[in-house]
């Protein structure tokens, strides 16, 4: 049964009128509305942002019964619908030019995380602030004159040996570099500098470390921002079976490592960006 679709046989006049009305809506409203075909065969106009919990789960079950097979079919139908109403989905091109990132660090035995070094560091920072003692930190260059382009609608693979600056580059592109680092260069999204918008709403950096509260469950990701997109991602990533299981940590038994990584992906995709 088609969930969001036109009639393929003898078109119902009322349904055709509803589709015509949808196509006349502004772009922002048009992409979030559709006709939901219910079990009785009747179609009603819905706003997918305002569906209730049971409606969302019922819709997802009808859309994706088999994640591997139905996900591709759903995406193809979604593309056909977007093309039918004449929408142009925005794309993002990221350009970065002459990126340099430096850090002031201690080297040798002073870099060890000991109580003695911690005490020395505090005293030295105070003396540096008062211009009594010169800093003994060494400048470490992490990135040097890095330039490139990330094309839209492409999967880009970043390769490099350990400690080559891959994570630092990704953090710089996502606008999440630590303020302790010295950064220079330009990063532009579609020609706009990062000072012109909030990059965290356009891109998301997913760390290799899964940092979660052990007592949190996968379903807790939804919170007050629960929507069809989150339910859909949980479904296609196979997380609906562990939605009510605690994530776990070193002391609390929880989901597996692979499931935890997928939970991290869902969390950042939902809370950070319009990817």
When pLDDT is averaged across residues 163-188 and rounded to a whole number, the result is: 90
Q: In this predicted model, what pLDDT tens digit does every residue of 182-201 receive, in sequence order?
A: 999 999 999 888 888 888 77
Query: What does the alpha-carbon distance between residue 116 and residue 81 come to, in Å, rounded to a whole number?
Result: 65
**Cα–Cα distance for residue pair 14/37, rounded to 1 Å:** 13
- In 106-189, the DSSP E strands lie at 138-150, 182-189
Tens digits of residue pLDDT in 13-33 = 776 777 777 777 776 666 677
pLDDT in tens, 209-226: 777 777 777 666 655 456
User: How high is the pLDDT of residue 271?
Assistant: 57
How confident is residue 81, by pLDDT bands cut at 50, 70 and 90?
confident
**What tokens appear for 190 in the block?**
């579609």
Q: Name the most confidently modeled range: 5-14, 40-49, 68-77.
A: 68-77
Exposure string over 145-160, b if 16+ CB within 10 A, otherwise e: ebeeeeeeeeeeeeee
**Cβ(126)–Cβ(92) under 8 Å?**
no
User: Is the model more confident about 70 or about 163?
Assistant: 163
Confidence check: pLDDT of 7 > 70? no
Would you say residue 178 has pLDDT above 80? yes
């Amino acid at each position: 049964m088609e969930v969001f679709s036109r009639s393929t046989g003898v078109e119902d006049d009322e349904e055709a009128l509803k589709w015509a009305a949808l196509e006349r809506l502004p772009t922002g409203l048009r992409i979030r509305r559709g006709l939901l075909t219910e079990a009785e065969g009747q179609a009603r106009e819905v706003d997918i942002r305002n569906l209730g919990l049971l409606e969302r789960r019922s819709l997802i079950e009808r859309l994706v019964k088999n994640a591997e097979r139905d996900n591709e079919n759903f995406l193809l139908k979604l593309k056909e619908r977007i093309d039918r109403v004449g929408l142009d989905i925005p794309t993002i091109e990221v350009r970065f030019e002459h990126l340099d990132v430096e850090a002031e660090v201690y080297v040798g035995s002073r870099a060890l995380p000991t109580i003695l070094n911690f005490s020395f560091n505090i005293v030295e920072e105070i003396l540096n602030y008062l211009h009594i003692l010169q800093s003994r930190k060494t400048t470490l260059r992490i990135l040097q004159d890095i330039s490139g382009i990330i094309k839209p609608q492409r999967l880009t693979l970043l390769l490099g040996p350990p400690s080559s600056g891959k994570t630092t580059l990704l953090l710089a592109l996502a606008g999440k570099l630590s303020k302790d680092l010295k950064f220079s260069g330009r990063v532009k999204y579609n020609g706009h500098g990062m000072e012109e918008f909030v990059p965290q709403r356009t891109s998301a950096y997913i760390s290799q470390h899964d940092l979660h509260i052990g007592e949190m469950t996968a379903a807790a990701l939804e919170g007050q921002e629960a929507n069809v997109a989150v339910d859909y991602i949980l479904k296609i990533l196979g997380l609906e079976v562990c939605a009510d299981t605690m994530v776990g940590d070193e002391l609390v038994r929880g989901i597996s490592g692979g499931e935890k990584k997928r939970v991290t992906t869902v969390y950042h995709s939902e809370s950070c960006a319009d990817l």
